[in-house]
Amino acid sequence: MNEPKLRFKADDGNQFPDWEEKKLGDITEKVVRKDANSNADVRMISQGNGFILQSDKYSRENAGQSLKKYTLLKRDEFAYNHGASKVKPYGVCYRLCESDEARVPYVYHTFKLIDGDSGFWNYSLNTSCMDRQLKKKVSSGARMDGLLNIGYDAYMSVDIHVPSLPEQQKIAEFLSTIDTVIEKQKETVSAWEERKKGAMQKLFSQEVRFKADDGSDFPEWEEKKIDDVATCFAGATPSTKIPEYWEEGTIQWMSSGEVNNGQIHDTEKRISQLGFDKCSTKMVKPNSVVMALAGQGKTRGMVAITRVPLCTNQSLCAIETNDDICDDYLYQYLQTQYNNLRLISSGDGTRGGLNLKLVGGYVVIVPCLAEQQKIADCLSSLDEVIEKQKATLAAWEELKKGLLQQMFV
C-alpha cells in the first residue's frame, strides 16, 4: 500500500503503525434519523464552506413540505453532498461542527463514524484521492436534479487508508491549526474590504471632501452622463468552431466572468490575429473601465479596469474615457453603483441585461480632475493593501493544498 509522503511520529519518537486499507463502510454507520417536530437549524452544504444556514443562501428556508423528510444530523456526524460543481465535480463531504443538531436535505448521504477522529476524516474525505475514486463510480452524468449517480452503497465502497487513532488526531490538530490561520486571514481581508467600503461611502456622498494642495476648497461636483465623458463599445467572440482563431493566440481576450478579478493584468484566453480580424471585437486601451452587460449570477453590473491592451467578448462594455474624467476615479465610483446598474437593466433586478445605451446614459457625479485624482489615489492605496492581504491568504491556501497532497494517499 502507498504511504503518505509526510508522516508524523509518536510523542516518544517512534513511528506510528502502517496505515490500514479498508472500505469507508467498515468504519461508518448510516444515519437515517428523522424528527418532524425538531426545531434544529435547517442547513445545507456549501462547496468550500461546510454547513451553512439554508436561509443564508436563499434569504429564507425553502424546504417547504419536504422539511419533514430532512435528516436530523448531530454534531460530528457527516453528510456527503453528491451534487457536482466546478470546484468539486464529484461532490463534497463535511462533518457537522457548526451546531449540535441540524436538519439537512434527505438527498445527502448521511453517516457517522464507528471509530476514528472526525476531524481527520473531515479532511481525508475531501482529498484528490477520494475524487479519483468517485470519478470511477459515477455511473453516468448528473441527473436532472444536478446530483451525481453515486448511491449510498457506492459511496461506502470507496477505499480508504486508516492511520492509528493517535496519528489521526495529530494530523487533524495540525491541519486545524492551518485552517485557523486561513480563517483569521480571511477576516483580515474582509476587514480591509469593509474599511474601503466605508471610505467610498464617505467620499462619494461628499461627507468627506479633499482640499486642494494650497488648502482651498475644490469646486462643486457636476452630474454627467457616461457618454459625455467616455466612449462605450462592446466586443465579440470569434467562432469557437474554428481552431485557427484560438490556437497560438497572442491577443488577450476577456470574458465577462473576469470582471470579478477587478484589475486585469492578464486574461484566461487569447485569440489569434486571424480570429480578431474575423469578428467585430475591438482593442481596449490599458486603464479603461469594463462593465459586464450580462453574465451568470451576480456578474451583470460589475466593473473592472484593464491594465494591459486587450479585447473583450460581447457581454462586456469597454468605457474609454476622455480628458474630463480619470479612469481610476470612474472605476472606483462605478463599483458603488452596482445595485443601481442591475436595477436599471431589469424590472426586478434579477434578470435581464445592460446595453450600450443604458451604460452611456448612466449619470455619474464628477469632481474636478484634481479632486478625482486624490479620491482615486486614496482608494487605490486601499486596493493595494487588500490585494496584499489576499495574496497572503492565497499563499496559506496553497500551502494547505500541498500538505493535503503529501499527508494523504
Residues 305-321 pLDDT 10s: 999 999 999 999 999 99
CATH code where residue 195 lies:
1.10.287.1120
DSSP 3-state helix, strand, coil percentages of the chain (rounded to 5)? Answer: 40, 20, 40
Residue 1: inside a domain: no
81, 99 contact by CB (below 8 A)? no
- pLDDT value of residue 61: 56
**207 in the same domain as 143:** no
233 and 350 inside one domain: yes
Q: Is residue 7 one of the residues assigned to a domain?
A: no
Same domain, 42 and 55: yes
Q: Is residue 315 part of a domain?
A: yes
- Looking at 144, 162, 180, which one is the last position of a domain? 162
Question: Cα–Cα distance between 230 and 359 in angstroms, integer?
Answer: 10
Cell of 30: 448510516
Domain co-membership, 383 together with 314: no
User: 474582509: which residue's cell?
Assistant: 190
Q: Which of 218, 186, 234 is nearest to 396 (CA)?
A: 186
Domain of residue 96 covers 20-162
Residue 197 within a domain: yes
> pTM for the full model?
0.84
Please tell me whether residues 82 and 208 are part of one structural domain.
no
Q: Which of 162, 188, 206 is the last residue of a domain?
A: 162
Asked if residue 236 belongs to a domain, the reply is yes
- Domain containing residue 55: CATH number: 3.90.220.20
Q: Is 158 within a domain?
A: yes
141 lies in the same domain as 201: no
For residue 6, tell me if it sits in a domain.
Answer: no
Going by C-beta distance under 8 Å and a sequence separation of 6 or more, which residues neighbour residue 199? 378, 379, 382
User: Is the CA virtual torsion 388, 393, 399, 401 positive or negative?
Assistant: negative
* Res 349: pLDDT: 44
In the prediction, which pLDDT does 144 show?
Answer: 45
What total of structural domains would you count in the chain? 3
Residue 89 lies in a domain: yes
Q: Is the same domain home to 227 and 173?
A: no
| Rounded Cα distance, 404 and 257, in Å | 29
pLDDT in tens, 14-61: 999 999 999 999 999 999 999 888 889 999 998 778 899 887 776 555
Mean pLDDT by 10 residues, the chain (409 residues): 85 93 96 90 86 76 71 96 84 93 94 96 92 81 63 94 96 96 97 97 95 94 96 95 92 93 93 93 95 83 95 95 95 95 69 85 96 96 96 96 90
The residue with cell 457581454 is 315
pLDDT of residue 56: 78
Instruction: Please report the DSSP string for 361-376 in residue order.
Output: T-EEEE--HHHHHHHH
* C-alpha to C-alpha distance for 243 and 295, rounded to whole angstroms: 25
Segment holding 283, helix H or strand E: strand 283-284
The 10 Å Cβ neighbour count of residue 320 is: 17
Give the chain's end-to-end CA distance (angstroms, integer). 9
The verdict on 361 and 378 lying in the same domain is no
